[in-house]
Amino acid sequence: MNAPQETRDADVSAIAALDEPTRRRLYDHVVRQSAPVSRDEAATALGLARQTAAFHLDRLADESLLDVVYERRSGRTGPGAGRPAKLYRRSAKQVAVSLPDRRYELAGRLLAQAVEEAEATGEPVRAVLHRKAEELGARLAEQDDTGLIGLLERYGFEPRCEGDAVTLANCPFHALARAHTETVCGMNLHLLRGVLQGLGEETLTARLAPAPNRCCVRLDPAP
């Protein structure tokens, strides 16, 4: 299983863990606190048995939604200070699940890089964006060992082989492409050109071929 699939499975599991009402209340309570929370504090605050609070807090920690830290609440150190208390705080884990797959963070990074470099160099933003997208596509291809179809699946394009061509049933930048079609579709085109280049794929070429309910880019046999 590739890393993005494992990440998605972990995110789905984390979201499913929050579907349990008591667990969600505990998570929300911990998040609202400015300092880590003990089992006793959480149980008292929510009117739960300590064992119940401990069970759900540990489940949230298992899903990486909470971090576990150990602190001595007495303020004392050394022999006789007692064992550190097990405390919980929100983790840095970010959970996002989108069906169909969306990659807005990737698009955002490319757009931000293009704006910053254009301001620094005076080069047109769109030219920088196309170059950055192509460079990123090549890097993604060089770092991947699953081949073209595997890489496209990994990044949410949902490739469909149609004869010698490959159509892409999903656009990972769907909402952005609808609102800013020329900019985002151009970025996507150059991203996929970079992928083909990085893979050394000479039998296909990426071109714009907008159609309803699919990505604006299509991979056609190279002339």
pLDDT in tens, 131-157: 999 999 999 999 988 899 999 998 999
Residue at token pair 């004869």: 163
Low-confidence residues in the chain, pLDDT < 50: 1
CB 206 within 8 A of CB 143: no
Give the residue among 176, 133, 170, 164 at the shortest CA–CA distance from 152.
170
Q: Dump the DSSP string for 161-178.
A: EETTEEEES--TTHHHHH
* Whether 215 and 112 share a structural domain: yes
pLDDT at 76: 57
Boundaries of domain holding 43? 3-90
133 shares a domain with 183: yes
Pair 108, 214 in one domain: yes
Query: How many residues make up the chain in this entry?
Result: 223
pLDDT at position 4 is: 55
For the chain, the average pLDDT equals 89
- The residue whose two tokens read 């863990």 is 17
Q: How many domains does the chain have?
A: 2
Could you tell me if 121 and 203 lie in one domain? yes
196 in a structural domain: yes
3-state secondary structure of 101: coil
Does residue 187 sit within a domain?
A: yes
Q: Check if the beta carbon of residue 204 is closer than 8 Å to that of residue 151.
A: no
pLDDT at residue number 1: 38
Q: pTM for the full model?
A: 0.67
